[in-house]
Amino acid sequence: MKKTFLTAVLCGFTFVAQSQDIEQFTYGIQAWISGVWAHTEAKIAGNTVLRTEVGLDGLQYKERTSDRIQYLYAPVFRLEPRFYFNFGDSLKRSGKIRGNRSSFIALATSYHPDWFTISRSTENVVYSSISMVPTFGIRRDIGNHFTFETGIGLGYNYTIKRALDFRRSDRGIIFNLHLRLGFTF
């Protein structure tokens, strides 16, 4: 009888632990030296969400004429499915994953159009590009609404160059390292 009771209790705890879930819908803003972004996350199933993001990505480059370091900001549209895991202390404290704060694995798919740039230099040229980067990251709380997010990944980039009415393209490996402070509504 004791073994049956103990088995039932352990199965009950396992069921309760697996029933903890991420939020259905979140949205917020994030910023760092490397840009500013607005994002939404909509739950697809279980611990998987679809994150959409619009913002300005920052790039650092060296001018050809003066060898000075310059900063450039260009628009970006990002769509990334994220799988959240390792909820750990969030579940122990409140039983709820507030704002989807945990570790994640994502496939960051980005489109950088060549519409405009924000820079002090006049010699910058930005071409349209599409990239897909598998990324591992973490998101943590700083108070009730503020977050810190960091991620790292290595993926593929396809850059489209337009010149003389024909298209040339560059393909290659892209490295993603991001650090962001955010506010979740």
What kind and span of H or E run contains 65? none
Domains of the chain listed by start with CATH number: 22-184 (2.40.160)
Alpha helices in the chain (DSSP H): 2-19, 89-94
User: What phi, psi does 3 have (nearest 5°)?
Assistant: -65, -40
Q: Is 163 helix (H, G, I), strand (E, B) or coil?
A: strand
Amino acid (one-letter) located at 53: E
Per-residue pLDDT of the chain (185 residues), as tens digits, is: 444 444 444 444 333 344 456 788 999 999 998 899 999 999 999 889 999 999 999 888 777 677 778 888 999 999 999 999 887 655 555 555 677 788 999 999 999 998 888 888 776 677 889 999 999 999 988 888 899 999 999 999 998 876 543 455 678 899 999 999 999 98
Of 23, 19, 36, the C-alpha closest to 71 is 36
